[in-house]
Amino acid sequence: MIDKVRVCIADALKLDASLASLITEDTTAADLSGWTSIAHLSLILQLETTFGVRFGNDEIASLGSVAAILEALAQKGADPASD
């Protein structure tokens, strides 16, 4: 699942492949200068489209890290083996 999350982040933040490959479960918004509050909104829509889930508007601010995104996706039943 992290590979798909990595693609979503790279698309939303317009990262090149070399930077995108450095994204891990430990990556937070503070690590990527392009992860702005506006880019974050695009990222959420990208994640929703890719994984077929819907995040509540209230929970979106807490998804500022890869770990939090993976956990939220798992809670919503997104397939953890999905690549």
Partner 1 sequence: MDGNSDQVVAVCVPQVNVNDLEVTLVGWRVEDGGQAVEDEPLYEVETSKSVGDVPSPASGVLRHVAQPADVVGVGEVVGYVGPSAEAIDHFLVAQSDGGLVVGTRAEKPSDQAVTEDRDATIGAIELARRFGIKLADIPAVGKIRRSDVERYIADRGLVEPGGVERGHAERVSAGRPSAGVEATLPPAMLGLVEEQEALSDHQWAIAQHLTQTQSHLVTACVSMDVVMRAVVEWINAKRQAGVMVGPIPVLLYAVAEAISKTPSLASFRMGQRVYRYRAVHVAYTARSHDGRLFTPVVRDVDQRTLDEVAAEVGRLNMAVFRGSAELADLSGGCMTLSLLSDQPVRSHIGLQNAYQSAILTAGAIRDELQLRDDKPIAVPTLTLTLAYDHGLMDGWQAAECLATIKAALEAVKVS
Query: Which residues of this chain interact with partner 1, rule CB under 8 A?
Result: 28-30, 35-38, 40-42, 44-45, 55, 57-58, 60-65, 67-68
Q: CB 38 → partner 1: shortest distance, Å?
A: 5
3-state per-residue secondary structure call for 15-47? CCHHHHCCCCCCCEHHHCCCCCHHHHHHHHHHH
Comparing CB distances to partner 1, the nearer of 7 and 68 is: 68
46: tokens are: 């990208």
Q: CB 42 → partner 1: shortest distance, Å?
A: 8
Comparing CB distances to partner 1, the nearer of 53 and 68 is: 68
Cα separation, 34 vs 12, whole angstroms: 9
